[in-house]
Copies of this chain bind each other. A is one copy, B any other.
Amino acid sequence: MYDHVKGFRDFYAPEMAARRETIDTVESVARGYGFREVGTPALESAQMYADKSGEEILEELYVFEDKGGRKVALTPELTPTVARMVVAKQQALAKPIKWFSTRPFWRYEQVQQGRFREFYQTNIDIFGSSEPTADAEVLAVAADALTGLGLEPTDFEFRVSHRDILGGLLAAFDGEIDQQAAIRAVDKREKIERDSYADLLTTAGLSPAQVDRFDDLLTTPADRLTELVSFAGTDRVAAAVGNLQAVLDAAADLGVREYCSLSLTTARGLDYYTGVVFECFDATGDVSRSVFGGGRYDDLIEGFGGQPTPAVGVAPGYATLALLCQRAGVWPAEELATDYYVLQVGETRETAARIARDLRGRGHVVESDVSGRSFGAQLDYADSINAETVVIVGERDLADGEVTLKQMSSGDQQQVPVEAFPGDHDRPTVDDFD
């Protein structure tokens, strides 16, 4: 007996039904906003990740040499791939480019709750607009997806920040400060001890006094952002504060301001973010990890050799999203759903097949016997797949020109003329023939 590889999961049909419903909801919201699906490869040149994030990133990836001597990596995220695709057809693509894609990614990580080595997410990105409306639309898609899943405003919050505020504040301190390292420290603020956090900032170049001051600044409330501008005294911070405010205003226009709270301690770990960044959290705190995040990455396309092209995106991941939905009690039922079971006994195959075909033509899930089973065994099976209605096609009934409908929940039965079934009915039930 073989086992699956550690950190990789098998999704059996009931669980997959719940996952598919969730993915369908997210994708249908993205489609509604005019995001277009793209298809992307599972392997990329390992060099692409090394160039973008440093050679050390390869330690966390599935990297190997293929039989043609290419050093390749199983894609750990979609952003570099879509950036590559934008660069490859930059001239031909009308802007804004609005893409989405749902697929697995892979990282060689410690396996824990909500974290696997193979994980699924829907990436949703806009390329070619630097307007606050674009950031707000990404927030709106994410919010509509979550409410579409049945989550309430009290269930989740988007903690919104701005990379250039963080960078601008750091630049305002005396001394040689490694801004990327300091921002990575901020990203870890909620996850590590206070001392370790201070150590990381000190290593990044801040003095102990600067660490305290910086951390105070990070907790500035939303209505006092001008204090940050005063502290830094630079156009960069003034512009960043203005941009953040404009994004929140645009989010209000789109009806999703209520989900957003200012949180300068939200930094996002990845180096490529340049503007507004945000993370979605469980508002109750029961799910302690960030559910997913997103933000603006205006320099990546140019860094990949393309024309300067602003970009902003979000990527709901299904492992953590499932935890949030389960906590909130809105995770779809993990069970099979069947509209009809056509129970066929005796020499009635042709009629049974015709009825099954007609019901399928109306868009229903219709099973019938493929195992040569008895009446009773078929009824048991129909029950096991949660069939709503069983259509019994028996020899004696059929000789009288009839079939029998059985509603499985109530046990109610009704004989109906075979030529009138399903007839004009889109979704015939016992009640239609009372």
Give A contacts to B, CB under 8 Å.
Answer: 1-6, 8-13, 15-17, 19-20, 28-29, 31-34, 36-45, 47-48, 59, 62, 64-68, 70, 72, 74, 81, 84-85, 87-89, 93-96, 98-99, 104, 106, 108, 118, 126, 128-129, 131, 133-134, 137, 144, 253-255, 304-306, 336, 338, 349-350, 353-354, 357, 360, 363-367, 369-372, 381, 384-385
**Chain B residues in 8 Å Cβ range of A133:** 369-372
B106 to A42, Cβ gap below 8 A? yes
**Chain B residues in 8 Å Cβ range of A108:** 66-68
* Bound complex: CA A17 to CA B305 (Å): 28
Nearest-Cβ distance from residue A237 to partner chain B, whole angstroms? 23
Nearest-Cβ distance from residue A14 to partner chain B, whole angstroms? 8
A367 to B34, Cβ gap below 8 A? yes
B42 to A131, Cβ gap below 8 A? no
A38: which of B10, B41, B104, B384 is its contact (CB, 8 Å)?
A: B10
Instruction: Count this chain's copies in the assembly.
Output: 2
* Bound complex: CA A233 to CA B340 (Å): 45
Considering residues A31, A43, A129, A364, which has the most beta carbons from chain B within 10 angstroms of its beta carbon? A43
Nearest-Cβ distance from residue A295 to partner chain B, whole angstroms? 16
A305 to B1, Cβ gap below 8 A? yes
Q: Given A12-B38, A350-B253, is A43 in contact with B5 using a C-beta cutoff of 8 Å?
A: yes
Q: Given A1-B88, A36-B16, is A370 in contact with B137 using a C-beta cutoff of 8 Å?
A: yes
Q: Given A5-B43, A96-B371, is A366 in contact with B254 using a C-beta cutoff of 8 Å?
A: no
Q: Given A13-B36, A62-B66, A253-B350, is A371 in contact with B134 using a C-beta cutoff of 8 Å?
A: yes
* Bound complex: CA A336 to CA B349 (Å): 44
